Amino acid sequence: MPDKIALLDLTYAQLRDLLKSWGEPPFRADQVWGWLYRSLVSDFDQMRNLPKELRTRLDEAAYLQTLTPLAESVSADGLTRKVLFALQDGETIESVFMRYERRRTVCVSTQVGCPVGCPFCATGQSGFRRNLTAGEIVEQVLYFARQLMGDKGKGEKDTGEGISNVVLMGMGEPLLNYEATWQAIETLNEAKGFGLGARRITLSTVGVVPGIRRLSREQLQVGLAVSLHAPTDRLRNKLVPLNRRYPLHRLMAACRDYAQETGRRITFEYALMEGINDSLEQAQRLGRLLQGLTCHVNLIPLNPTVESPYQPSSHKAALAFRRELERQKIPTTMRVGRGVDIQAGCGQLRGKRE
């Protein structure tokens, strides 16, 4: 469909301008936007309050779906579901749906592969192919939202349960695809459509300093999570190669400025790896690094890749690490491990299929 418009790639203003150029009245943009992001339809014929001529023209000039499910894995407890999608150019990406007691969270990808190359991450080891478009990012959320509606995208009555949170923590580095990522966030937040509150959206970065500084100037109050994984440059250079470009002193300065400018708390993600970054001394170093910063540490049980030398820390070591951070008055939680039995870690299902 090279000559057609990917409708989900359009902002509301761009959709309005497109319909205006076709001679349509302004309210048509609200109608189409509502069908896309409230009713979650996947076919123009389902937009029942549009004139048939407009539906036909939309079908001839644009398309809605760019993702095709290739494979799906569901955890034994039924609470985590990972889907491998094919894109129109044959590339593949992963998305994960996680059900918690009060939350229904979708973890989305922002790139095909990842240019950062973290050695403990399956995506990082697969290389980088390309950035996703805003529509490709948004459509991952819409896919699971349709499933929760129970109508497979046919625009039937909502069951009352929808997506409550979105985390940009899948394949890729969101801040290296800033424009498309931010447009996707604005689309999901747009009150006329999906209407997801900004504070229910969290963007995760390995520490792209210019992106963090740019994010601090945005109006929407999305959450920021920084994948830290090491308290020293020497270790972080190995675990997060981008640290060579943006070492800890630059990253932490950007984080402190972000917290001061926005008044928002930063989450630092720390994947505990046995014998690599889980010692008591490293916990002490991490505590000192974060002193005085409005933050929260999320300790993550590593989701190991097959035959990887990086393995999750023992429960005993993880608890000792958390106790040391708490002793230093650093707010800390241990993330509940999800989807280990279905290889729900970033890039694992894609790597298995390839």
Q: What is the CA radius of gyration of the chain?
A: 21
Backbone angle region of 146, left / alpha / beta, with phi > 0 → left and psi within -120 to 50 → alpha:
alpha
94, 139, 173, 324: the active-site residue: 94
Query: Burial, 233: exposed, middle or buried (Cβ in 10 Å; 0-12, 13-18, 19+)?
Result: middle
Report the C-alpha gap between 298 and 322 in whole angstroms: 10
Structure tokens at 65: 């779906």
Report the C-alpha gap between 290 and 252 in whole angstroms: 8
295 is catalytic: no
114, 118, 121, 346: the active-site residue: 346
Those residues whose C-beta lies under 8 Å from the C-beta of residue 275, and which sit 6 or more positions away, are none
261 is catalytic: no
Please provide the DSSP assignment of 157-201 as one string: ---S----EEEE-SSS-GGGSHHHHHHHHHHHH-TTTT---GGGE
Report the C-alpha gap between 30 and 192 in whole angstroms: 7
The residues annotated as belonging to the active site are 94, 346
